[in-house]
């Protein structure tokens, strides 16, 4: 059924007073003038490219996890997401992919659209596991093709310095997969080489990668000096606000993710993260040894954090919607324009969520 909205819409990086007619997609946008501060602000739905879990469910548990996760994150303004796996033996990954197939094929009622999978490991460095279980192994095209045929892999996190991974970057890129450098102890030069071979982005910038030193810039240095894209977790636990600002000055298309776990949207307690058990307490999620293990971040809280450290609503929205969509070469999501999906967030005066539309459906 056709619906209408009137307000300040974020169009081409500026707020403009307009009236919209939409169903599943935006049918018509009638521009009415400059921004009107007496009207609600409407931005594109958030696109989160790094989601392990939510609502008590972990994607590696298979079964109905993907559906629970899609519904949990939708209530925080995420309208599309990538289900993100953990490092695990192949049979466990295959089971998780098979269980996701239904949610990928058919969007859950009141749920965010699953765009595919972010395969975070197992092709990573045992020296930079972070909270990943130690099932590290060499990447093979055959293994990737088997998983990719079940549900499309949109992003693959890779440590390029290991095995023959450097040689595989172009092959994975030709399959339509975005290669992100992450969980890597590689050098600056190895990072630069990986980018030259087609790696496109960095996974949770600063975390689980060789750090920056002025005589040994590491993977962080390669990202800051050369990357066009990188994802970053703005829970203000994983990365200091000053480091976020340094990344914003260096990486043109820095975008934000939650790295959310099963603990997201849930009370403090113990939850699954792949084969690990993690503990949520005081807003953070950690392993028993205190290592940060994903997050309990939601995209609406990420927006609040970014506004609080000085980003404008326009810039924060760009880096939570349009840029993630661009990374995946999606022209009909993350933006407000005719023929784009009607993934829309209507905000209150304090920029908290008032209404959420996913493909035209009001939650």
Inside any domain, residue 29? no
| Given 259, 289, 332, 343, the catalytic residue | 259
Rounded Cα gap, residues 155 and 14, in angstroms: 30
Low-confidence ranges of the chain (pLDDT < 50): none
Please spell the DSSP secondary structure of 250-265, one letter per residue: H-TEEEE---B-TTTT
Inside any domain, residue 28? no
Contact 96/60 with Cβ under 8 angstroms?
yes
Rounded Cα gap, residues 89 and 126, in angstroms: 15
Give ∠ CA 196-247-310 in degrees, rounded to 5: 150
Inside any domain, residue 27? no
Inside any domain, residue 24? no
Coil, helix or strand for 170? helix
Structure tokens at 116: 């595919």
Rounded Cα gap, residues 210 and 187, in angstroms: 7
Rounded Cα gap, residues 66 and 69, in angstroms: 5
Rounded Cα gap, residues 162 and 355, in angstroms: 46
Inside any domain, residue 12? no
Active site includes 149? no
The predicted structure's pLDDT at residue 283: 85
Structure tokens at 64: 């109905």
In 3D space, the residue among 184, 180, 241, 178 whose CA is nearest the CA of residue 207 turns out to be: 184
Coil, helix or strand for 327? helix
The predicted structure's pLDDT at residue 224: 98
The predicted structure's pLDDT at residue 274: 84
| Residue spans of alpha helices (H) in 269-312 | 299-308
The predicted structure's pLDDT at residue 325: 98
Rounded Cα gap, residues 346 and 39, in angstroms: 10
- Which H or E run includes 273? strand 269-273
* Interval 60-73: pLDDT, tens: 998 899 999 999 99
In 3D space, the residue among 125, 49, 121, 123 whose CA is nearest the CA of residue 85 turns out to be: 121
Inside any domain, residue 165? yes
Q: How far is CA 340 from CA 21, 22, 47, 307, in A?
A: 12, 10, 14, 26
Name residue, tokens 């095995």. 163
Pairing of strands 178-181, 201-202: parallel
Contact 21/28 with Cβ under 8 angstroms?
yes
Rounded Cα gap, residues 209 and 202, in angstroms: 9
Inside any domain, residue 5? no
The predicted structure's pLDDT at residue 275: 84
Inside any domain, residue 62? yes
The predicted structure's pLDDT at residue 174: 97
In 3D space, the residue among 293, 234, 238, 239 whose CA is nearest the CA of residue 262 turns out to be: 293
* Domain at 164, CATH number: 3.20.20.140
The predicted structure's pLDDT at residue 189: 98
The predicted structure's pLDDT at residue 171: 98
Which residues lie below 8 Å from residue 36, measured CB to CB, with a gap of 6+?
A: 8, 17
Question: For 105, what's the count of Cα atoms within 13 Å in the CB-facing half-sphere?
Answer: 9
Domain count, the chain: 1
Crossing angle for the helix pair 218-226 and 188-196, to the nearest 10 degrees? 40
Instruction: Give 111's DSSP letter.
Output: -
Structure tokens at 105: 């094929």
Q: Give residue 216's domain range.
A: 45-333
């Amino acid at each position: 059924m056709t619906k209408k909205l009137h307000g300040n819409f974020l169009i081409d990086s500026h707020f403009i007073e307009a009236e919209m007619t939409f169903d599943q997609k935006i049918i018509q946008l009638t521009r009415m003038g400059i921004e009107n501060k007496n009207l609600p602000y409407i931005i594109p739905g958030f696109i989160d490219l790094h989601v392990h879990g939510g609502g008590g469910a972990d994607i590696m548990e298979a079964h109905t996890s993907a559906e629970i996760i899609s519904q949990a994150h939708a209530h925080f303004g995420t309208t599309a997401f990538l289900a993100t796996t953990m490092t695990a033996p192949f049979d466990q990954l295959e089971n998780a992919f098979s269980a996701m197939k239904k949610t990928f094929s058919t969007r859950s009622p009141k749920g965010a659209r699953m765009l595919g999978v972010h395969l975070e490991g197992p092709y990573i460095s045992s020296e930079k596991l972070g909270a990943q279980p130690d099932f590290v192994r060499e990447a093979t095209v055959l293994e990737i093709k088997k998983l990719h045929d079940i549900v499309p892999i949109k992003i693959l996190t890779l440590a390029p310095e290991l095995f023959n991974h450097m040689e595989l970057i172009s092959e994975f890129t030709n399959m339509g997969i975005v290669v992100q450098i992450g969980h890597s102890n590689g050098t600056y030069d190895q990072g630069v080489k990986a980018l030259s071979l087609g790696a496109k982005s960095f996974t949770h910038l600063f975390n689980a990668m060789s750090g920056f030193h002025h005589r040994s810039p590491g993977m962080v240095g390669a990202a800051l000096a050369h990357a066009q894209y990188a994802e970053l977790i703005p829970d203000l636990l994983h990365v200091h606000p000053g480091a976020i600002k340094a990344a914003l000055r260096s990486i043109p298309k820095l975008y934000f993710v939650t790295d959310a776990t099963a603990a997201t949207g849930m009370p403090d307690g113990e939850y699954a993260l792949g084969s690990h058990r993690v503990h949520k307490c005081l807003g953070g999620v950690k392993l028993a040894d205190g290592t940060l293990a994903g997050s309990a971040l939601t995209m609406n809280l990420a927006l609040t954090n970014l506004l609080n450290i000085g980003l404008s609503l326009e810039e924060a929205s760009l880096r939570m919607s349009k840029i993630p969509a661009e990374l995946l070469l999606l022209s009909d999501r993350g933006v407000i324009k005719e023929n784009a999906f009607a993934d829309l967030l209507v905000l209150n005066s304090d920029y908290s969520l008032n209404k959420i539309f996913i493909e035209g459906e009001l939650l």
